[in-house]
Chain A
Amino acid sequence: MVIVPVAYLPTSSKELSSWRTSRPVIDYSKCTRCAICWKFCPDVAIDLSPDPSLSAPNDRFKALEAPRIDYDHCKGCGICAEECPFDAIAMVEEE
């Protein structure tokens, strides 16, 4: 029987945070949940889910799906921070 390159391990099991030199941090008080960061992330490292406990510019935005960065897979490219029209994402240097 031949060797077939199939793995039944989810790729999410690989932790790649060490690839990063700076991390994006979202200031939820400025975040309108527009999801532009989610759309632009080249590594699918931003998830969207509703979380009323997060702050928001006003209560109307709290009901919407909020972006959350998956720091196990974010490589720190900074595209989300560059694209955010509300300057709600800052790149913070990793220690």
Chain B
Amino acid sequence: MESIQASRRIMTGNEAVATGVKLSRVKVISAYPITPQTTIVEELAEMVANGELDSKFIEVESEHSALASVIASELSGARSFTASSSHGILYMHENLHWASGMRAPLVMSVVNRAIGPPWNIWSEQTDTFNQRDTGWLQIYCESNQEAMDSVLLGYKIAENKSILLPVMNMLDAFTLSHTSEPVEIRSERTAYDYLGDLDLDFKLDFKNPGGYGSLLGPDGPFMEMKKDMRDSMYNSIKLIKREISNFNDQFEANLPGLTENFMMEDADYALITTGAISSTAKYTVRKLRAQGLKTGLIRLFFYRPFPGDDILKAVRGLKGLGVVERNVSYGQRGPTYEDVVSSLYGKADVPVRNYVVGLGGRDIRVKDYEKMFENLVETDGGMEWINVGVT
């Protein structure tokens, strides 16, 4: 019998993504290079050039065109992939709406990088938090293993006929994208059995021409389509949970649910994090527990659809909850804080604080998390900037 895992290799997050794309038997790839995403598409271009991956690689002049190309190829029935980062994904913003509105089940990998000015290529999640309202599902990875698995899982979820919305999976610049760690490479056969071929009910067809997204007046089904997208997004929560446990069974994998609850059962104080910074937070939780403080952590694996009910269940009985935000929003609290508070409003009586951390790649250390927990114990309400103005 063939093993479920083909092999175990040391690889960077970007290599892991490229391998996930190869395992998904993607037919069309189009992307424009941007640090720190570049090595994803370099790796894929190499796979296509040496015949390892039977796929068409379209070179384009911009990110806007990259996404436009893969929207078209996806809608013609060929599984397609693109990847970007930072200013690249901002440039894609218009087509992000087109991809979801046309119900193109794409997967795009985004390496989270700061937004200028001033220019900065290091890790921060503002680029994708800015895209939360575009109708894409969002997955934030904590490890290179998740970076590979979320590509396969992403296609499975996106192509589900009652969801049919695109998925972006995120990895932190350099911390994951350019750092090597052991990754189980899923077997090609199992991946193919799991994913199958792309099957769309509607597709671009020369023999039966149709218009995608043509002009509609106020009385046309415009509003109905937007409502349908929102319903699909909400209803996907149940399906995603089923697909994750299906994935874990098939690949003997260890993906969490939409959230990962870490030492939450009897916790008094907890933080909510996304992405690779969660690992340092987990270390701190263990450390503080050894000192007698009952701490815990909720990691958001999915950010859209927002797992509000899962968070509500996990935070009951907490004395303090801190939402850690590696992005910045101006004129209001951070987006994760607002989503959390709106999920808890009127249902859980937990004081919630907001922490802004690690912008432009600033390091987030154990002592920073300790400070957050200390702050949670002492006060409630308000927003706090962590490790700012400290030299």
B203-215 CB mask vs A (1 if < 8 Å, else 0) is: 0000011111111
Q: Inside 8 A of B211's CB, which chain A residues have their CB? A: 6-11
Please tell me the number of chain B residues within 8 Å of chain A, measured between CB atoms: 23
- Complex Cα–Cα for A9 and B232 (A): 26
Structural contact, A4 and B102, CB atoms closer than 8 A: yes
Q: Inside 8 A of A4's CB, which chain B residues have their CB? A: 102-103, 164, 201-202
Structural contact, B162 and A3, CB atoms closer than 8 A: no
Q: Inside 8 A of B382's CB, which chain A residues have their CB? A: none
In the complex, whether B193 has a CB less than 8 A from a CB of chain A is no
Structural contact, A8 and B228, CB atoms closer than 8 A: no
In the complex, whether B221 has a CB less than 8 A from a CB of chain A is yes
Structural contact, A3 and B202, CB atoms closer than 8 A: no
Structural contact, A2 and B213, CB atoms closer than 8 A: no
- Complex Cα–Cα for A93 and B208 (A): 39
- Complex Cα–Cα for A8 and B210 (A): 4
- Quick one: closest A residue to B163, CB to CB? A2
Structural contact, B221 and A6, CB atoms closer than 8 A: no
A2-23 CB mask vs B (1 if < 8 Å, else 0) is: 1111111111001000000000
Q: Inside 8 A of A7's CB, which chain B residues have their CB? A: 210-211, 214
Structural contact, B161 and A11, CB atoms closer than 8 A: no
**Residues from 85 to 101 in B contacting A, C-beta threshold 8 Å:** 101
From residue B244, how far is it (CB to closest CB) to chain A in Å?
Answer: 21
In the complex, whether B239 has a CB less than 8 A from a CB of chain A is no
Structural contact, B228 and A6, CB atoms closer than 8 A: no
**Residues from 146 to 184 in B contacting A, C-beta threshold 8 Å:** 161-164
- Complex Cα–Cα for A5 and B212 (A): 6
**Residues from 41 to 91 in A contacting B, C-beta threshold 8 Å:** none
Residue in B161, B209, B228 whose beta carbon sits within 8 Å of that of A3 in the complex: B228
In the complex, whether B225 has a CB less than 8 A from a CB of chain A is yes
Structural contact, B102 and A2, CB atoms closer than 8 A: no
Structural contact, A6 and B162, CB atoms closer than 8 A: no
The 8 closest A-B pairs by CB, nearest first: A3-B228, A8-B210, A7-B211, A5-B213, A4-B202, A2-B164, A6-B202, A6-B210
Given A2-B161, A4-B202, A10-B211, 9 new contacts (CB under 8 A): A1-B201, A2-B162, A4-B102, A4-B164, A4-B201, A6-B211, A6-B212, A8-B210, A9-B214
22 contacts between A and B (CB under 8 A): A1-B161, A2-B103, A2-B161, A2-B162, A2-B163, A2-B228, A3-B221, A4-B102, A4-B103, A4-B201, A4-B202, A5-B101, A5-B102, A5-B212, A5-B214, A7-B214, A8-B211, A9-B211, A10-B209, A10-B211, A11-B211, A14-B215
